[in-house]
C-alpha cells in the first residue's frame, strides 16, 4: 500500500514537471498560430492608413498616418451607398428569416398535424442543395418573376434556408411544454402562444442566429453579382471587387475600402463573440 | 403546486364548454384548428423553399437537356449538352484542378482544425484570446480576404516576399504560376476556415466525458494512446460532419475568392469546375450547357458524400464490431 502511494506521488510529480514544460510549448504554439491568424488582417487595417508612397513599404505600423484614403473612398466612389445597400438588405433578410423560420420551426416542433415528419424530412433535404449549384436556375426563376435588379430580388431568395428552421426546431423541442399548455387552456390561440410565449423564450437562440444571418448576408457576393447590374443596388462586397479591378495598384485606396467593408463584421464579432461561437457550436453538434 | 391544481380545475371546467361549442356549429374542432395553424405557420417558409430551392434544383436538371439562347428561348437537345461536356477539354481540366484542390484542401483543413481544437481545449492562460484570434478571419468576407491576400502576395511589393527576401530567400511569383497560385488559394482557404472548424471540433471534444481521460491516465496511458483510444473514436460524429461540410464546400464554394484573388488564372490554373461553370453561364449565356456541367458536379458530390457516409458509418458509434 505504502509503496503504491509513494509511486503514485512520484508519478504525479513527474507528470507535473512534464506538463509544466509542455504547457510552455503549447502556449508558444498558441501564440504563433494566433499571430498567423490575425497578422494579415491587422496588416490590412494599418496599411489603409498609409499614403500611396508608403503603402507597400513592408512596415506594419504606418510612419505617416493619413485618413485621406477613407475620404477618397467615400467621396470618389458611392461607398456610403454601397454600405447602406448591404445594411438594408442584410437587416431585412435577417428579420424576415427569423420570423418565418421561427414560425415554421414552432409548427414542426410543437403542433400536431398529419405528415409532420415527412415535411420536416423534405425541408431538411433542401440543406443538401448548396447555393452555387442552383445559381443558374435561381437566376432564371428570378428573371421570370421580374426580381432582377431590385431590392426584392436581392432579399427574397436569400431568406429561405433550412438551416435556421432546423436549429430553431431543435431548440423548441427542448422547451418545457407546461407554459404553452397553460396558455392553451387559458384560451389562447396558437398565434398568441407563439407570439407571447414561444418568441420571448427563444430570445437567446434568435439573437445568435440573427448575428449569423446578418454576417452571412453582409458578406454575400455571388448572388448580388448575378442578380444586379444597377449601380444604385451595388452591395459593398460587389463594390470592393469592382473597385479593386479599377484601381489595380492603388493599394492604399483598395485597402481602405476593404477595411471599411470588414469593420462592421469585426465589431459585431468582438461584441457578440459568445453568441457567434455558440451558434457555430450548435450547428456542429446537431 | 397550487397553480397546477388551478390548471387542472380550469381544464375540467373548460372542457365541457369547448365540447359544446364544437358540437354547436361551424366552428372548427380543436384538432382542425391546430392543423390550420400549422399550415399558416409553415406556409411562408415552405413556399419560399419550394420556389427558391426545390424548384431550381429540379430545374437545373431539366435545363441541362435544353439549349438556352438569348432571353428565354429554350430548345430541347436531349443529351447534347452532356456530349459536348465529354468533349470539352477545358471542363475536364477544371475537374482535374477541382480534384486536386479538394484532395489537398480537405485533409489539410481537417488536420489543422483538429489540431487547433485540441490546442484551444487546453486550459492555458489567455486561451480566450487565442480562440478569438483564430476565429477572426472567418467573419471577414471572401472578397475582402481575396483583396487582402492579393496585397500580401504581390510579387514585387507584397509583405510575404519582403519577409522571404529579408530571410535570405528569393521571392516567389505566388500568383503568377498555375501550381503556386492553386497552392495559395488552398492556403488562404485553410487560413479562413480553420477557426470555424476548430470551434466545431472544440464542441465535439467538450462532449467527451472527462472521466474517460482520468481512467486512461490511471491505466498509465500516454496522450497519444488516449487520443487514439478515446478522442478519435468518440469524435467520429464531429469528424463526419467536418469532412462532409468541408468537402461539399470545397467542391461548390470558393467562387468569391477565385474571382478576386486569381480570376481563374494564371493559364486557367485556378479555374475550378464551379468557376468554369459560372463563366459558361454568366459570361457566355450558355445556361443549358452550364446546367449540364453543374448537374454532373452535383452527381459527383453526392457520390463522394455517400463514400464519406459509408467510410465514417454516418458518424455513428454503433459499428457492430
CA distance B44 to chain A (A): 6
Q: According to the 3-state scheme, what is the secondary structure of chain B?
A: CHHHHHHHHHHHHHHHHHHHHHHHCCCCCHHHHHHHHHHHHHHHHHHHHHHHHHHHHHHHHHHCCEEEECCCEEEECCCHHHHHHHCCHHHHHHHHHHHHHHHHHHHHHHHHHHHHHHHHHCCCCCHHHHHHHHHHHHHCCHHHHHHHHHHHCCCCCCHHHHHHHHCCCCCCCCCCCHHHHHHHHHHHHHHHHHHHHHHHHHHHHHHCCHHHHHHHHHCCCCHHHHHHHHHHHHCHHHHHHHHHHHHHHHHHCCHHHHHHHCCCCCCCCCCCHHHHHHHHHHHCCCHHHHHHHHHHHHHHHHHHHHHHHHHCHHHCCCCCC
Residue B247, CA distances (Å) to A101, B109, B137, B148, B309 in order: 27, 10, 20, 25, 12
Q: Which domains occur in chain B, in start order?
A: 83-315 (1.10.3720.10)
Is the ipTM beyond the 0.90 threshold?
no
| Residue spans per domain, chain A | 1-39, 72-285
Mean pLDDT in residue range A148-153: 95
Identify the architecture of domain A72-285 in CATH: Orthogonal Bundle (1.10)
**Chain A contacts of B56, Cβ < 8 Å?**
129, 134, 137-138, 141
* Beta-carbon separation of A134 and B53 below 8 A: yes
B contact residues 119-138, partner A, Cβ 8 Å cutoff: 119-120, 122, 124-127, 129-137
Residue A258: predicted pLDDT: 95
* Beta-carbon separation of B34 and A41 below 8 A: no
B307 reaches A (C-beta below 8 A):
no
Which cell goes with A25? Answer: 510549448
**Chain A contacts of B120, Cβ < 8 Å?**
30
B216 reaches A (C-beta below 8 A):
no
To the nearest whole percent, how much of chain A has pLDDT over 90?
Answer: 51
Flag whether pLDDT at A31 surpasses 90.
yes
Nearest by CB to A132, which of B52, B238, B255?
B255
Residue B16: predicted pLDDT: 45
CA pair distance A164, B199, nearest whole angstrom: 19
Give pLDDT < 70 ranges for chain B: 1-27, 70-72, 314-321
Where residue A285 falls among pLDDT bands split at 50, 70, 90? Answer: low
Residue B243: predicted pLDDT: 93
B283 reaches A (C-beta below 8 A):
no
Residue B311: predicted pLDDT: 80
Q: How many CA atoms lie within 13 A of B64 on its CB side?
A: 22
pTM of the shown model: 0.87
Location of C-alpha cell 426563376: A141
Amino acid at each position: 500500500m505504502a509503496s503504491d502511494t509513494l509511486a503514485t506521488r512520484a508519478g504525479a510529480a513527474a507528470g507535473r514537471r512534464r506538463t509544466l514544460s509542455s504547457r510552455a510549448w503549447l502556449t508558444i504554439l498558441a501564440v504563433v498560430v494566433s499571430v498567423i491568424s490575425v497578422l494579415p488582417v491587422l496588416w490590412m487595417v494599418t496599411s489603409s492608413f498609409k499614403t500611396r508612397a508608403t503603402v507597400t513599404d513592408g512596415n506594419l505600423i504606418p510612419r505617416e498616418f493619413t485618413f485621406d484614403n477613407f475620404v477618397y473612398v467615400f467621396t470618389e466612389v458611392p461607398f456610403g451607398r454601397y454600405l447602406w445597400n448591404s445594411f438594408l438588405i442584410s437587416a431585412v433578410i435577417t428579420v424576415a428569416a427569423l420570423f418565418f423560420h421561427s414560425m415554421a420551426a414552432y409548427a414542426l416542433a410543437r403542433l400536431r398535424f398529419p405528415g409532420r415528419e415527412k415535411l420536416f424530412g423534405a425541408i431538411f433535404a433542401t440543406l443538401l442543395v448548396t447555393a452555387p449549384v442552383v445559381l443558374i436556375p435561381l437566376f432564371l426563376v428570378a428573371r421570370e418573376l421580374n426580381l432582377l435588379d431590385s431590392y426584392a430580388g436581392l432579399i427574397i431568395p436569400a431568406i429561405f434556408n433550412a438551416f435556421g428552421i432546423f436549429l430553431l426546431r431543435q431548440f423548441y423541442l427542448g422547451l418545457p411544454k407546461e407554459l404553452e399548455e397553460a396558455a392553451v387552456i387559458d384560451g389562447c390561440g396558437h398565434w398568441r402562444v407563439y407570439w407571447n410565449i414561444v418568441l420571448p423564450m427563444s430570445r437567446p437562440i434568435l439573437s445568435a442566429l440573427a448575428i449569423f444571418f446578418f454576417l452571412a448576408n453582409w458578406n454575400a457576393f455571388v448572388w448580388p453579382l448575378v442578380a444586379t447590374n444597377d449601380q444604385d443596388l451595388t452591395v459593398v462586397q460587389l463594390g470592393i471587387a469592382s473597385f479593386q479591378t479599377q484601381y489595380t495598384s492603388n493599394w492604399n485606396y483598395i485597402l481602405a475600402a476593404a477595411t471599411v467593408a470588414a469593420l462592421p463584421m469585426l465589431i459585431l464579432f468582438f461584441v457578440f463573440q459568445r453568441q457567434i461561437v455558440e451558434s457555430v457550436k450548435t450547428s456542429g453538434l446537431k | 403546486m397550487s397553480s397546477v391544481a388551478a390548471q387542472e380545475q380550469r381544464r375540467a371546467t373548460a372542457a365541457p364548454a369547448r365540447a359544446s361549442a364544437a358540437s354547436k356549429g361551424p366552428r372548427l374542432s380543436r384538432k382542425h384548428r391546430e392543423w390550420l395553424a400549422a399550415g399558416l405557420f409553415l406556409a411562408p417558409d415552405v413556399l419560399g423553399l419550394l420556389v427558391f430551392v426545390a424548384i431550381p434544383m429540379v430545374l437545373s436538371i431539366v435545363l441541362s437537356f435544353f439549349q438556352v439562347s438569348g432571353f428565354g428561348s429554350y430548345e430541347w437537345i436531349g443529351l447534347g449538352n452532356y456530349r459536348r461536356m465529354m468533349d470539352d477539354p477545358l471542363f475536364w481540366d477544371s475537374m482535374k484542378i477541382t480534384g486536386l484542390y479538394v484532395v489537398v484542401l480537405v485533409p489539410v483543413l481537417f488536420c489543422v482544425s483538429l489540431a487547433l481544437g485540441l490546442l484551444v481545449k487546453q486550459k492555458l492562460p489567455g486561451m480566450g484570446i487565442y480562440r478569438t484570434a483564430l476565429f477572426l478571419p472567418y467573419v471577414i468576407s471572401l472578397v475582402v480576404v481575396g483583396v487582402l491576400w492579393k496585397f500580401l502576395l504581390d510579387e514585387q511589393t507584397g509583405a510575404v516576399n519582403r519577409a522571404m527576401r529579408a530571410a535570405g530567400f528569393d521571392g516567389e511569383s505566388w500568383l503568377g504560376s498555375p501550381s503556386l497560385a492553386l497552392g495559395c488559394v488552398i492556403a488562404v482557404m485553410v487560413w479562413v476556415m480553420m477557426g470555424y472548424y476548430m470551434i466545431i471540433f472544440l464542441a465535439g471534444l467538450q462532449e467527451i466525458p472527462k472521466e474517460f481521460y482520468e481512467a486512461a491516465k490511471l491505466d498509465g496511458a500516454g496522450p497519444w494512446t488516449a487520443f487514439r483510444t478515446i478522442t478519435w473514436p468518440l469524435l467520429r460524429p464531429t469528424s463526419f460532419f467536418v469532412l462532409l461540410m468541408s468537402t461539399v464546400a470545397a467542391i461548390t464554394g470558393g467562387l468569391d475568392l477565385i474571382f478576386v484573388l486569381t480570376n481563374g488564372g494564371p493559364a486557367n490554373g485556378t479555374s475550378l469546375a464551379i468557376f468554369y461553370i459560372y463563366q459558361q453561364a454568366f459570361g457566355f449565356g450558355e445556361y443549358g450547357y452550364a446546367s449540364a456541367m453543374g448537374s454532373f458536379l452535383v452527381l459527383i458530390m453526392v457520390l463522394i458524400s455517400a463514400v464519406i457516409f459509408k467510410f465514417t458509418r454516418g458518424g455513428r458509434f454503433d459499428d457492430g464490431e
